[in-house]
Chains A and B, each alone.
Chain A
Amino acid sequence: MTIFDIMGPVMVGPSSSHTAGAVRIGRMARKLLGSQPARADILLHGSFAATGAGHGTDRAIVAGLLGMAPDNGDIPGSLWLAEGAGMAVTIRTGNIPNAHPNTAVLTVTNTEERTLTVSASSLGGGRIRVNAIDGMEAAFSGELPTLIIRNEDRPGILSEVTRMLSEQAANIAAVQLYRDRRGGLAVMVIECDEPLAPSLRAALSQVDGVVRCTYLNMEEA
C-alpha cells in the first residue's frame, strides 16, 4: 500500500468498487479479447446487481469495454457511445453461487467472431480480480504486466517459458497454473515486475505447445 492508494485515484464517481472497479473489469475484458467487442453480454451479481444501476456499474463496465480508464469523463454516456460505435450490449442480473458480492461475468465477441467469457470481481478501492477466463479458474489483478498463456498440458512448456523470460531479464512476481484435466488444456498466469518487449511476447506465442499467448498491461492505452 502506497500513499497513492490512500490519496487517489482520480475517478468518475460515485463508488470506487461499483464504478471505478467496474470500468477496470470492462477494460480487462477488452484487453483479454485483444480488440473492441462487437457484442457484449454483461451479467451482474450480488451488490452489483442490487445497486449497480444507481452506482452506474452498467455504464462503467461498458465504458471499460470501449477502452476508457476510470477517470474518463465520458463514462456516464458510455451506453450511448457504445451504440454509436456499433457495440451491441445486453445487461442482465442474476445469482452466481459463492461469488464475491461485486462480481460480473462478461461474454464478449469481436468482429472476427472470437468469443471470450471473463468472470471478475471488484474488491474495493478500485482493485479487481479476474476469477475465471472461459470457465478456467484464474486469480490475477492486472496491476502488474501479466502473461496469460494457454497451452497443452504436457511437460517442459513452463520451463521453456520461464527460461525465455529469464533470458530477457524479466523478473517474475507470481506464477499460477491451472488445467481442465490431465493432458488437456492448461493456463499459466505469469505476473512480471516490468513490461515485456513485443518481440518476447511474439516469441512466447511460437513456443511448441502454446495455443495462445495474451499479454496484459493495463497501463497501456
Chain B
Amino acid sequence: MAFGSTAALVAAAAKQPLWQAVLEDDCRDRGAERADSLARMEKLWQAMVRSAAEYEPGRRSASGLSGGQAAKVAALEGALCGPFLQQVVSTALAVAEHNACMGRIVAAPTAGASGVLPAVLLPLQKRDGLSDEDMIRCLYVAAGFGQVIALRASISGAEGGCQAEIGSASAMAAAALVQARGGTADMMAAACAMALQNVMGLVCDPVAGLVEEPCVKRNAMGAVNAVACADMALAGVRSAVPCDEVIDAMAAVGRAMPAALRETGQGGLAATPTGRKIAETGLRAERT
C-alpha cells in the first residue's frame, strides 16, 4: 500500500533511511523480493544514463520544432549560471529533445517531464563522484514523493496542467537531491513542497498539441527549480505550508483549470497567432 501522505513517508523514515522505507513498501506492495525491486530500479537508472548519452545534436523531431538546443547550451561560454547548472540545463534539454525525437527515455513521472531527474542526477553524480547505488537511492526517494503526489493530486498534464507534470518531476528531483547531499527526511519534504509551490498554476499549453514547445524548455526550468529548492532545504529554509497541503492545493488548482489549459493544445502558447500557425503549417507538412 502506497504512502497516503508525505507526513507518513517522513514518519516511516524515523527508524530507517527514507529510500529504504519506500523500497520496503514496494516489496510489500508487489510481493517482490528486495533484490528484485533494486534490480528493477537499477535498470531505470541505467536507462536514464543512456537517455542522456544517446542524445544526437543533429537529430530533429517530426515537426521540426525540437533538436540541437542542448548542444548549443553546452557550448555556451561564460554561462551566467556557472558550470554545474549549465550542465543541468543542457542535460534537461538533451533528454527532453531526445524524447521529442522518438528516442528512448524513462518516463519520470511522464515522458514529457523525462528530462528533469536525469538533468539533476547525472551532473551531480559526476561532480561528487557518487556511486550508481547512491543514485538508485535517490530514485527511491523521488518515487516515494512522486507516488504521494500522484495519489493526492495528479502527474498528468491533461488532468492537472504542467504543474502536475514538470511540477511533480521537479518536486521529486528536489527531494532526490536532498538525499544525494545527505539531508534529512524533513528536508526532503521541504524541498518537495517548495518546488511545487514555485510552479503552482503552471498550465499545459503545448503548441500544436506536441510534447515539444514549451515542454522541452520547461524541463530545464523544472531541473533548475529542483536544484534551488534542494539547496534552500539543505540550508534549513522551510515551507510555511506543509508538503501535503501544498500537494492538495496543487490538486485543487488543477481541478480549477479550464480544459483549454490542460494538454488540449487550445490555450496559452498554443492559442497564440504563432502557435496556431505552427499547428496548421507544421501538421500539414507532416501529412505530405
Residue pair B107, A16 in contact (C-beta under 8 Å): yes
Q: Which of B2, B47, B106, B210 contacts A54 (CB 8 A)?
A: B210
Main secondary structure of the interface of B (DSSP, over half): helix
Residue pair B111, A16 in contact (C-beta under 8 Å): yes
Q: Is B137 an interface residue (CB 8 A)?
A: no
Residue from the set A8, A12, A20, A76 with the largest chain B CB neighbour count within 10 Å: A8
Q: Contact flags (1/0) for B261-274 with A, using CB distance below 8 Å?
A: 00001000000000
Q: Contact flags (1/0) for A49-90 with B, using CB distance below 8 Å?
A: 011011110010000000000010101100000000000000
- Interface with A: B84-92, B145-153, B191-199, which one? B145-153
Return chain B residues, CB-CB under 8 Å to A59. 102
Q: Which of B47, B139, B212 contacts A14 (CB 8 A)?
A: B212
Q: How far is the CA of A6 from the CA of B265 in the complex (A)?
A: 24
Return chain A residues, CB-CB under 8 Å to B111. 11, 13-16, 19-20
Q: Is A9 an interface residue (CB 8 A)?
A: yes
Return chain A residues, CB-CB under 8 Å to B208. 51, 54
With A3-B140, A16-B110, A19-B102 known to touch, is A54 a contact of B62 (CB < 8 Å)?
yes
Q: How far is the CA of A86 from the CA of B99 in the complex (A)?
A: 29
Q: Is B211 an interface residue (CB 8 A)?
A: yes
Residue pair A55, B210 in contact (C-beta under 8 Å): yes
Q: Is A7 an interface residue (CB 8 A)?
A: yes
Residue pair A125, B110 in contact (C-beta under 8 Å): yes
Return chain B residues, CB-CB under 8 Å to A126. 107
- B40-69 residues with Cβ-Cβ distance < 8 A to A are 40-41, 43-44, 47, 61-63
Shortest Cβ distance from residue B126 to the other chain A in the assembled complex, whole angstroms: 21
Q: Which of B2, B105, B144, B211 contacts A55 (CB 8 A)?
A: B211
Q: Is A98 an interface residue (CB 8 A)?
A: no
Residue of A nearest to B140 (CB): A3
Return chain B residues, CB-CB under 8 Å to A15. 111-112, 211
Q: Which of A6, A13, A124 contacts B114 (CB 8 A)?
A: A13
Q: How far is the CA of A94 from the CA of B212 in the complex (A)?
A: 25
Task: Bin chain A's interface residue count.
Answer: 20 to 34
Residue pair B102, A56 in contact (C-beta under 8 Å): yes
Residue pair A11, B44 in contact (C-beta under 8 Å): no
Return chain A residues, CB-CB under 8 Å to B170. none
Residue pair A12, B104 in contact (C-beta under 8 Å): yes
Return chain A residues, CB-CB under 8 Å to B209. 47, 50-51, 54
Residue of A nearest to B106 (CB): A10
Q: Is B225 an interface residue (CB 8 A)?
A: no
Residue of B nearest to A60 (CB): B102
Q: How far is the CA of A84 from the CA of B147 in the complex (A)?
A: 43
Q: How far is the CA of A75 from the CA of B210 in the complex (A)?
A: 18
Q: How far is the CA of A73 from the CA of B47 in the complex (A)?
A: 12
Shortest Cβ distance from residue A107 to the other chain B in the assembled complex, whole angstroms: 22
- B174-218 residues with Cβ-Cβ distance < 8 A to A are 208-212
Chain B interface residues toward A at CB < 8 A: 2, 22, 25-26, 29-30, 40-41, 43-44, 47, 61-63, 98-112, 114, 139-140, 142-144, 146-147, 150-151, 155-156, 158, 172, 208-212, 265, 282-283, 286-287
Chain A interface residues toward B at CB < 8 A: 1-16, 19-20, 47, 50-51, 53-56, 59, 71, 73, 75-76, 124-126
| Contact sample, A vs B, 16 pairs, CB 8 Å cutoff | A1-B2, A1-B151, A3-B26, A3-B144, A11-B106, A12-B103, A14-B100, A14-B112, A20-B107, A50-B265, A53-B62, A54-B212, A54-B286, A71-B47, A76-B102, A124-B156
